[in-house]
Structure 1
Amino acid sequence: MENVDVLTARHLPRLLGIVLLDWAALGATVWLVPGISADSGWTVLVLAAVLGALAAVLRPALVRLLTRVGWAGVGLGWLLSQALFVYVALSVTPGVRVDDFWSAFWASWLYGALVSLVLWFVTAGDLSVMARHLTRVNRRYRRAAPATTVPGVLLIQVDGLSAPLAEWAVRCGNLPTLGRWLRSGSHVLTEWHAELPATTPASQAGLLHGTSDQIPAFRWYEKDAGRLVVTNRPADSAMVEARMSTGRGLLADGGVSVSNVFSGDAPTSLLTMSSAGRRGGPGRPARYLTTFLLDPFGLTHALVLTAGEMVKELHQARRQRVRNVEPRTPRPAAYVVLRGVTNVLMRHINLSIIAEHLMRGAPAVYCDFVDYDEIAHHAGPARPESLAALEGLDGVLATLELVADAAPRPYRIVVLSDHGQSQGATFLQRYGVGLDGLVRTFTPEPTVVVASGNLGMVYLIDRPGRLTMEDLDEAHPRLLPGLTGHPGIGWVMVRTRARGPVVLGPSGRHFLATGLVEGVDPLGPFGPRAADDVRRHDSLPHVGDVVVNSALDPATDEVYAFEELIGSHGGLGGWQNRPFLVRPAGWPVEGDLVGADAVHRQLLVWMGRRTPAPATTPTGPVPVPVPVPGPGPGPVPVPDPDPDPGPRHRPAAEPQ
């Protein structure tokens, strides 16, 4: 009780300020919107109280009603609910007059925008405000959930962030929450190796299901079915998950999947691509989205901050053009909208969903935040706007840390990425022709050329099965020499009839079955794991007749994406194969984490789903905390007496 009083007293001035500014926003709305008037400022204060009371009483019932309607109800609630509250409040408050509903409709939008700006001004930088809001709106779930001392696990994926850049951002103070955990010794950062292809679907297949061997790229062609598979399409991701799922994925025992490509066999799967096509059941996110949009905190952030993010993107894109920053790529209108959605709307929706399930006491929650990855694709992995997105995601970690402290069970927080990104001008920018155009210059036969970053695959669609090098040389003698002789191509992989897969380069070849190298090894510039990665990739189903990887600039570590992306991933070269894993320091790593499947097996051990390997098993080097000089930016954490350490560094959030 003493803690509650202290927190209340400390936040009283801020809460009073919010009330006063909210009063001012409503007064400005009444003054600016035609068809609405009030007798005095005190009348406006009464109006504010009535509006707040109506929303508090009616919003839960409205959420339940609109959710039953489905997505039509979500849209209707988003457009009209706040206007309905405003209209009723204007109609019943003495001394206030409103001409018609449409006056109230426009007043509700103006009022929402003004309140959002007020909240942004008053609460900017105070992450505890969002945490207290999330714990308050979910307190009914916390009261209903049985308390337990058995720890749960919260896994947050920062999509596309490489280990070297994460370490650099921590050292520079750009990630204060993550830095505080590492400096305190409560957590340890470990780099792991993302095998070919370094894409989100392949890595999540391994991380969540332990089976990444069904995915040769982000998109691929299946000759037997005559179809192109693209893993960010719900039908395709559901098909791929059905091929690899055993029903015992990472989240099978009561876990929750949020905003992922695959579900990890979670019984509750929300905004997850593979379950998006399901009707009804726990995969249906309409109620969560409705609750979020009808929440004033969520609605105002969704409306105003999303628009603000889009304006910021227009400014930053123009700044790149004015300064002639290279490499760069056009940032079209579709991306401007996408950035606003991923960096604000989806981030807040994800936070709302995660908070609810933490307060319900879910044993495991896994959520993918794509904010950084989307911006880095178009701006570059280390550009200011990309780093700003990382700072926002670090704020997400701080908010979830506070929410987890108020949950009915202790939570251990794991932060990881699925791959990194490598920078460079696109292949088309650098050489004036795309990979598809280059292939067409060497063969008139119908092809399918698909790209995943700087990894490309070529399929001769009229010929069944996977063609060999001898088949290709006989039918199209210019194709392989033309590709390997191009300065933008680093290596080309095909199969031979007698000697298995071979990697071809401009001055040599590498036979993967035997390890024999003739001439200059084309895989030499791509690191010591390149041969193993390409050998494994050759064994995957539906690999192209020809696999192509761009060249790697030895001076800058830049690659040349076959898509129009400045930051890319999917192939080999640069930091794209170097993701990271931040886990509680008391969780030992059994061996080298090579591939997402290995990380999955390690996570199962930490979550108590599998017995650790015997002590005699050879282990890799013991990872150590990132050596960050100087004191941490936050308070010194109190050691957790629980022998199973986790993120509970702070006093519990304000009880609700």
Structure 2
Amino acid sequence: MRVGWRGLGATLLRVGAVWAVSTLTMLLLAGALPDFRLQSADGDSATVIGITAASGAGAFGLLSALVWPVLVRALLLVPALVLGLLVFFLNGSLLWLALSLIPYGRGTADPTTAVVVAAAMSAASSATSGFLAVHDDGAYRRRLARIAGRRRRREGRAELPDTPGVVFLQLDGLGYGVLRDALEPSGGAPPLMPVVAAMCGSSHRLTPWRTDWSSQTGASQLGILHGSTEDVPAFRWYEKETGEVMVSNRPTSAVELQRRAVERTGDKGLLALDGASRGNLFTGGAAQVALVLSTSARRGKETRSRAGYFAYFSDPANATRTAVSFVAEVAREMWQSTRALARRERPRVGRGGLYPFVRAFATVVERDVVVAAVLGDILSGRTAVYADLVGYDEVAHHSGPRGRDTHQVLRRLDRSVALIAKVAERAPRPYRLVLLSDHGQSEGETFEGAYGLTLEDLVRAGCGLRVPRRARRTVSGCEARAAARAALHRPEPEDPATDAAGAPRRGTGPVVLASGNLGLVSFPDEPGRTSRERIEALRPALLRTLAEHPGIGFVLVESEEHGPVVLGRGGGERRLATGEVVGADPLEPFGPGTARAVLRTARFPNAPDIMVNSSVDPETGAVHAFEEQIGSHGGLGGEQSHPFLLSPLELSPPTEEPGAPLVGAEDVHRVLRRWLDECAAPRPGVAVPHFDADEVSGTESVSGRESGAGPEPEPAVSASRIGTPTSRR
């Protein structure tokens, strides 16, 4: 009982400290802002002004604790970007209401000033609460125990096992080579990612792995979480049976891909046993999901696409901090894009329109919400958690995988890892922290930027179809159209896609799609897989046009005689079924394992009629994306096919033989399953944190830290303790 009273007293002291800081902040702002006052027009004594400030701070704190969660829940149907912008208005409205509750009407502020004052007070109270929590180890441990116990009781899990749980944290798009560079000091400066650098070699091992041909999140994450990448040829592709374009990050497509994978494997997924999926494309079989695309169309308390936002934005301090960071990130992107334009940096793509807001959402809002959800899972003792942080991948597409802009994102990712590791050390059960990526990124000038026409323009020109005037003026476009007219015996330009009246004809043009530097061409009017012989009969110049283009590395097509065949420049050809090579091998510049990856994709039922991979610079690894991306992934070439796996030394090595390659997301799935099985097996002599019943009693304060809903001040992490059972005593 004495422990309970001591805990209650410490809680009251913390509440008093936060109240005092909020009062002081309000007094300082009243003196600095002309449109904000805490006294009557005739003036008041210092005592009255102080009482007015304390009353306003107390009323604002109570409203934030009681009214704010209701407002956020009511706004869950509002798009996340709009909700982020509404935070300022809602917070300012609560302050205005709090001032109206002060006796004698002494507190007043115009609407704009109320927003500023509310943001400052929320930030001050959050910082104070976090500072006190960090420096009160016992209180922090007791709060973690209360939260974990409450969540377990709500879910019907009174006791947690003594075995370790596992947190899989995916750093989307971060390649093995880029990570290695980020872990090394440069020019006397510390590493870009000091926490991860301290982990590597001391408590964790770093292992590269190689993706399949389709080096993108849709295929890799489906394979990692559900154990199958079968029939996923690219990020987007055309399916002739349904006449639909499948797009990995489209909710309806994600649902269908997950259904097919579960049907194919007969298994729900990696996270089926007491798992949580956060910020992913697929659930992995987890019952607890937040911001998971394949469940975004559902309606339910646990599966609603925005359910994860409530746990985070229900704390006004979290909402304010994230909203301020969101605005700052938008401004940062505008400044960085303007600087790149002024310096005429190459390669470069357009970064205007909505992109600054998309970047801010990925690097701030989604990061904060996903990290908060992971912290909540750790505090409640979840057995397996898989979360995806997408900020690096988003910025690298537009700024390059090794640009100054992406360096800033890497530093912030390192702080997120530090926060998760710190909380894992205090969790109610041991945890193993595994970092991994789903693919890398390869830099290079876009195909259109380098050659003046898109892949679709080149395909249409090779088919003898009409192309935009800008494409006809390029060397590639002129040569392709001339070759097509000659092959088709059409001396004059003609467009088979239009009838005599100039109206478009249905189904006469090919469907051309792009996934990074991987292109897919399908002929909707041709049933099944269109063979090389049929394509050459219909479009005699097309395959030669594609294979001979300097920006294209190789072309895959199905031959009636030889099966899947890879075509390259100068008549080079590789027959994948037999391994026979005619002339120069088109796959040689892409390294070992390429033929296996291409052959596997060629056998997919929904493989397109023609698959096109851009060329690669063998020295720099540069490729040409068929999309507007200077950092791209989706095909072969460069660093995009080489992600990483950073695993605790307590777990078995990823491969049985040292140095043996780890190939494909399906292999990674099997490794992660093996690690979960190892953690599930009881290990004698492992110290597990224990909390007495007396420590669970007491009053719980309202803060983002306690609810597992937001970042705390950056902790100091001893990397040698991360993932070790003795670090949780």
8 Å CA contact 1:36–1:97 kept in 2: the answer is: yes
Alpha-carbon spacing, 1:213–1:223, altered in 2? closer, same or farther (3 Å): same
Match of 2:553 among 479, 485, 490: 490
Kindly indicate whether the alpha-carbon contact (under 8 Å) linking 1:218 and 1:230 is maintained by their aligned counterparts in 2.
yes
1:167 counterpart = 2:180 = yes
Match of 1:92 in 2: 101
Paired residue type of 1:589: P
Q: What secondary structure does 1:534 align onto?
A: helix
For 1:600, the aligned partner's letter is: H
Q: CA deviation at 1:206?
A: 0.5
Q: Give 3-state SS (helix, strand or coil) of 2:641's partner.
A: coil
Secondary structure of 2:619 counterpart:
coil
Q: Which deviates the most, 426-435 or 349-358?
A: 349-358
Q: CA deviation at 1:68?
A: 6.9
Deviates more, 1:439-448 or 1:249-258: 439-448
Match of 1:24 in 2: 25
2:177 corresponds to 1:187 = no
Residues 56, 99 of structure 2: 8 Å contact kept: no
Distance 2:133 2:388 in 1: 20
One of 47, 50, 56 as aligned partner of 2:55: 47
> Does the 8 A contact of 2:430 with 2:728 survive in 1?
no
Query: Aligned pair 1:578/2:642, yes or no?
Result: yes
Aligned-partner residue type, residue 590 of structure 1? T
Asked if the contact 2:26/2:57 (under 8 Å) is kept, the reply is no
Which segment is superposed worse, 515-524 or 551-560?
Answer: 551-560
2:692 counterpart residue number: none
1:177 maps to what in 2?
A: 195
| Other-structure match for 2:366 | 346
Equivalent residues in 2 for 1:389-468 (5 A)? Answer: 389-443=409-463, 444=465, 445-468=508-531
Find the residue that maps to 1:208 and give its secondary structure: helix
Q: Distance in 2 between matches of 1:215 and 1:412?
A: 31
CA distance in 1, matches of 2:229, 2:679: 19
Cα 1:361–1:482 change in 2 (3 A) is same
1:242-295 residue CA offsets vs partner (Å, 9 max, x unmatched) = 111134300111211111011111111211111100111421254542342231
Write the deviation string for residues 220-244 of structure 1: whole angstroms up to 9, x where unpaired.
0011101111111111111111111
The structural deviation recorded for 1:460 is 1.0
2:162 aligns with 149
5+ long unaligned stretches in structure 1? 613-632, 640-644
1:24 CA displacement: 2.8
Which of 589, 603, 608 is residue 654 of structure 2 equivalent to?
Answer: 589
Report the AA paired with residue 325 of structure 1: E
Task: Output the TM-score relative to the length of structure 1.
Answer: 0.85
Cα distance per residue 1:371-398 (max 9 Å; x no partner): 0000000000000110110110111010
Give, in whole Å, the separation in 1 of the partners of 2:282 and 2:716.
Answer: 35
Distance (whole Å) between structure 1 residues aligned to residue 539 and residue 565 of structure 2: 18
- How far did 1:110 drift? 1.3
Determine which of 299, 311, 316 is the counterpart of 2:331.
311
Contact 2:278–2:291 (CA<8 Å) still a contact in 1? yes
Residue number in structure 2 paired with 1:237 = 254
In structure 2, do the counterparts of structure 1 residues 71 and 188 end up closer, same or farther at CA, with 3 Å as the change threshold? same
Separation in 1, partners of 2:19, 2:622: 49
Structure 2 Cα separation of the partners of residues 455 and 90 of structure 1: 59
Q: 1:523 aligns with which of 578, 584, 587?
A: 587
1:150 offset after TM fit, Å? 1.4
Distance across 2 between alignment mates of 1:164 and 1:73:
36
Query: Counterpart of 1:572 in 2: which secondary structure?
Result: coil
Q: Identify the match of residue 607 of structure 1 among 654, 657, 676.
A: 676
Aligned letter for 1:151? P
- Quote the offset at 1:138 in angstroms: 6.7
Whole-angstrom distance in 1 between the partners of 2:719 and 2:171: 24
For the residue of structure 2 that corresponds to 1:562, the secondary structure is coil
3-state SS, counterpart of residue 575 of structure 1: helix
Q: For 1:31-70, what aligned pairs fall within 5 Å after superposition?
A: 32=33, 34=35, 37-38=38-39, 39=44, 40=46, 41-43=49-51, 45-47=53-55, 49-51=57-59, 53-55=61-63, 57-59=65-67, 63=69, 67=73
Structure 2 CA distance for partners of 1:134 and 1:567, relative to 1, 3 Å: farther
Matched, 1:109 2:126: no
Structure 1 residues 119 and 311: alpha-carbon distance in aligned structure 2, compared to 1, 3 A threshold: farther
Percent of aligned positions that are identical: 36
Distance verdict in 2 for CA 1:134–1:283, change over 3 Å: farther
Cα distance in 1, alignment partners of residues 518 and 403 from structure 2: 23
1:71 matched to which residue of 2?
77
Distance 1:364 1:437 in 2: 47
Aligned residues: 614
Shift of 1:554: 2.3
Superposition CA RMSD, Å: 3.5
Residue 709 of structure 2 corresponds to none
Report the CA distance shift for 1:415/1:25 in structure 2 as closer, same or farther (over 3 A): farther
Higher mean displacement: 215-224 or 24-33: 24-33
Following the alignment from structure 2 to structure 1, what is the Cα–Cα distance between the partners of residues 556 and 92? 61
Distance 1:379 1:637 in 2: 30
Q: CA deviation at 1:544?
A: 1.2
| CA–CA separation in structure 2 for the residues paired with 1:541 and 1:48 | 66
Kindly tell me: are residues 332 and 66 of structure 1, through their superposed partners in 2, closer, same or farther at Cα, counting changes over 3 Å? Answer: closer
**Counterpart mapping for 1:150-299 below 5 A:** 150-172=163-185, 173-184=191-202, 186-245=203-262, 246-299=266-319
Partners of 1:83 and 1:120 in 2: CA distance: 16
